[in-house]
Amino acid sequence: MTDPLFKRVALIGIGLIGSSLAHNIRAHKLAGHIAISTRRSETLARAEELGLGDSYHLEAAEAVKDADLVILCVPVGSCGAVTKEIALALMAGAIVSDVGSVKGSVIQQMRPHLPDSVHFVPAHPIAGTEQSGPDAGFLELFENRWCILTPVEGTDPEATERLRRFWEACGSTVETMTAEHHDLVLAIVSHVPHLIAYNIVGTAADLETVTQQEVVKFSASGFRDFTRIAASDPTMWRDVFLTNRDAVLEMLARFSEDLASLQRAIRWGDGDALFDLFTRTRAIRRGIVEAGQDTAKPDFGRDHTRAPAGKS
Amino acid sequence: MTDPLFKRVALIGIGLIGSSLAHNIRAHKLAGHIAISTRRSETLARAEELGLGDSYHLEAAEAVKDADLVILCVPVGSCGAVTKEIALALMAGAIVSDVGSVKGSVIQQMRPHLPDSVHFVPAHPIAGTEQSGPDAGFLELFENRWCILTPVEGTDPEATERLRRFWEACGSTVETMTAEHHDLVLAIVSHVPHLIAYNIVGTAADLETVTQQEVVKFSASGFRDFTRIAASDPTMWRDVFLTNRDAVLEMLARFSEDLASLQRAIRWGDGDALFDLFTRTRAIRRGIVEAGQDTAKPDFGRDHTRAPAGKS
């Protein structure tokens, strides 16, 4: 039997990502010991009930003791405070990483607290669902998904390589890029889409002319896709927008400009402008399906035989 | 054996909706004869290859002869022209209907051409996928979905009732409302969501700082949901925006106001405003899942084990 990749992995935070990591570490034997820490005692108790780890700690500093891999699985806005808490307890030579959706801010928050003796390799698994908490995790979450590493200048390449092997063992394909570029890419493929999904769901809820009941009832005509995204974890997403502010505002400005131009096309009956855009966007969908990033099945392969509202 | 609901149904247009109707009429024996008409000879030939009907006509006026039910399954913008073509060939007592996503404009376009001897009952099945053409249709498309009828003043209630039975036989739950209210409801649950999906996909395609390849590659983080909607039929959707202009512009104005306020919250770091909205929207998703309008499975129950781009 080969030795596991790490002796002890500390997972700080045990939500969707943390618990999915725990399943992977266990199933693929990536560590001799899984130490789990989370601030809320009920969540920690639930993680223990689910048998996600080998030891459970309310104090993050206890979990990281003797850990050769420490992964912060907390909302981006908490990374600085958690790093401060664990800094003195970190083992020399340990790899410290995270799973945050924003990388520039995470580096800014964490780096000043970290001792020189540890290797800091920020990471972002591009994987998730709209569900959260320790019960939401599952083994296949990272399978065939991208994980982006954004090592900072001067990082030991061997530490980056070990973390790459860890994520590959979880089923991910690993790519490295700068934190700045990561934050721009994610702003357009993830952060702004989430923001406008949250926004349209809010707009729909506030109407006087159409009732919320009608919105729910007839949501299958497009709206319900947005509500899935708009059901994502509120704390996580608040932090994403607060910490990736510049890139989000930049992409949002472009989105709003483009939308104003579409609005003008509708007002003035410019059907050609609409048709041109609608044809162009169809090609991008094709690219995504061909790249294996989404199912080719119509309507995401949703079951078309469930009962709708009011038919009980 | 009971008599079918109609002697002869004429389907004018044989795309996703028309071909799905053909499957239903056949499977549930709703008519003695299915007459299919479409303007493009290749599409008509394909419909014949698929065996969707009993007779095939390039001239819509021929298809509607002796039909006691005529359903226009063409883009909303073509309803007026098609009605003009068939008006003189319509049988007295026939029910004339459509499947358009906009009802006010369809009534405006069709009504002036229709002889008094026919019953006009506009309809909108709230069902569809991002695919189009005669090959896209399938039997279950309308199953457990809503179909909205918007009979105009003075319509024979018996004609409305017969059409209701037709749609119920296709598996739909039928609701009636005014055309005006229909157009408002659909603007918020369908038209504006489609517009902003088209828009964000366009914005992403036009960036200089992030490549289109990167957008495709990392689309699983939210963006890909929007691309599915933005892959819908360009002609159909151009017509929707041109013909439901007022309601779409009204809802779009509200959306943009709300988005500007979110943008301001991000710029000024108002985390509470973001958190409040994100919590509120989660409850609406719960309502939709509880109403049976969408699956409760995370990520629409997508398969999490497919290969991503670049991993071949």
- Residues A167, A74: one domain? yes
pLDDT of residue B304: 58
- Cα torsion for A294, A299, A300, A305, to the nearest 10°? -170
CATH number at residue B205: 1.10.3660.10
- Of A112, A145, A177, which residue constitutes the final position of a domain? A177
- Domain presence at residue B307: no
Size of interface A-B (CB pairs under 8 A): 400
Contact B216 A294 (CB under 8 A): no
Q: Residue A279 above 90 pLDDT?
A: yes
Q: What angle do CA A23, A29, A30 make, to 5 degrees?
A: 85
Domain boundary among B177, B198, B219: B177
Is pLDDT of A78 > 50? yes
The mean pLDDT value for A277-291 works out to: 89
State how far residue B125 is from chain A, nearest Cα, in angstroms.
10
Helix ranges (H only) for chain B are: 16-27, 41-49, 60-64, 79-86, 104-110, 157-169, 179-186, 192-205, 212-217, 223-229, 234-243, 245-267, 271-290
Query: How far is A190 from chain B, CA to nearest CA, in Å?
Result: 5
- DSSP 3-state assignment of A255? helix
Domain shared by A192 and A158, yes or no: no
User: Which has the closest alpha carbon to B18: B67, B61, B74?
Assistant: B74
Q: Please list every residue in chain A whose beta carbon sits closer than 8 Å to the beta carbon of residue B277.
A: 198-199, 202
Question: d(Cα B263, Cα B269) in Å, to the nearest integer?
Answer: 10
Q: Chain B: nearest CA to A147, how far in angstroms?
A: 10
Residue A311 pLDDT: 35
Residue B241 to residue A274, Cβ atoms within 8 A: yes
DSSP letters for A73-140: -S-GGGHHHHHHHHGGGPPTT-EEEE--S-SHHHHHHHGGGS-TTSEE--EEE----S--STTS--GG
What is the spatial distance between Cα B149 and Cα B174, in angstroms, rounded to a whole number? 7
- A164 plus A17 within the same structural domain: yes
CB < 8 Å to A101, chain B? 221
Judging contacts by C-beta atoms under 8 Å, the chain A residues touching residue B214 are 185, 189
Cα–Cα dist A157/A149, whole Å: 12
Reported pTM: 0.89
Q: pLDDT digit of tens for each residue in chain B (312 aa)?
A: 568 999 999 999 999 999 999 999 999 999 999 999 999 999 999 999 999 999 999 999 999 999 999 999 999 999 999 999 999 999 999 999 999 999 999 999 999 999 999 999 999 999 988 888 999 999 999 999 999 999 999 999 999 999 999 999 999 999 999 999 999 999 999 999 999 999 999 999 999 889 989 998 898 778 988 998 898 899 999 999 999 999 999 999 999 999 999 999 999 999 999 999 999 998 888 888 888 878 888 777 776 554 443 333
Q: Is residue B62 packed enough to be buried (19+ CB in 10 Å), middle (13-18) or exposed (0-12)?
A: middle
For range A256-261, the mean pLDDT: 97
In a domain, B200, yes or no: yes
B147 and B187 both lie in a single domain:
no
Whole-number pLDDT of residue A1: 53
On whether residue B1 sits in a domain, the answer given is no
- Residues A186, A173 share a domain: no
**Residue that terminates a domain, selected from A157, A177, A197:** A177
Same domain flag for B61 and B42:
yes
Q: Same domain, yes or no, for B192 and B166? A: no
Residue A311 lies in a domain: no
Q: Which domain holds residue A292?
A: 181-301
B162 and B237 in a single domain? The answer is no
Question: For residue B186, what pLDDT is reported?
Answer: 96
Q: Report the distance separating Cα B132 and Cα B17, nearest Å.
A: 8
Mean pLDDT of the A258-262 span: 97
Q: Do B269 and A143 touch (CB under 8 A)?
A: no
- At residue A304, the pLDDT reads 57
My answer on whether B167 and B57 are in the same domain is yes
Q: Which chain B residue has the Cα nearest residue A144? A: B307
Q: Work out the minimum CA distance from A291 to partner chain B, whole angstroms.
A: 4
State the nearest Cα–Cα gap between A93 and chain B, in angstroms.
32
By Cβ distance, the residue of B206, B219, B291 closest to A216 is B291
Name the residue among B206, B234, B309 with its Cβ closest to that of A292.
B309
CA–CA separation, B55 vs A307, rounded Å? 34
Residue A308 lies in a domain: no
Q: Which of A293, A305, A306 to mutate to test the interface with B (most CBs of B within 10 A)?
A: A293
Cβ-based contacts of A204 with chain B (< 8 Å): 188-189, 284
List the single residue in A with minimal CA-CA distance to B143. A305
What pLDDT digit, counting tens, does each position of A209-227 carry?
899 899 988 987 789 889 9
What pLDDT, on the 0 to 100 scale, is given for residue A13? 98
Are residues B71 and B203 located together in one domain of the fold? no
Give the nearest partner residue to B198 out of A271, A277, A291, using CB atoms: A277
Q: Which one of A16, A168, A203, A311 makes the best mutation probe of the B interface by having the most chain B beta carbons within 10 Å?
A: A203
- For B178-211, the three-class secondary structure string (H helix, E strand, C coil) is CHHHHHHHHHHHHHHHHHHHHHHHHHHHCCCCCC
C-alpha closest to that of B2 among B22, B39, B31: B31
> What's the CA gap between A290 and A301, in Å, rounded?
16
Cβ contact B223–A189 (<8 Å): yes
> What does the pLDDT average to over A26-54?
98
Distance (Å, whole) CA A136 – CA B265? 30
Test B215 with A284 for CB contact under 8 angstroms.
yes
Q: What is the pLDDT of residue A308?
A: 41
Question: In a mutagenesis test of the A interface, which of B130, B150, B223 is the best target, namely the one with the most A β-carbons within 10 Å?
Answer: B223
Q: B72: which strand partners?
A: B12, B98
Strand partners, A72: A12, A98
Same-domain check for residues B121 and B58: yes
Tell me what the mean pLDDT of segment A269-283 comes to.
94
Pick from B226, B278, B284: CB nearest A193? B226
What is the least distance, in Å, from the CA of B91 to any CA of chain A?
33
**Residue A71 sits in a domain of what CATH number?**
3.40.50.720
Whole-angstrom distance, CA of residue B143 vs CA of residue B140: 5
Structural domain contains residue B311: no
Q: Residue B23: inside a domain, yes or no?
A: yes
Do B173 and B187 fall into the same domain? no
Nearest CA to B233 out of A16, A137, A278, A80 is that of: A278
Is residue A156 a part of any domain in this protein? yes
Number of domains chain A contains: 2
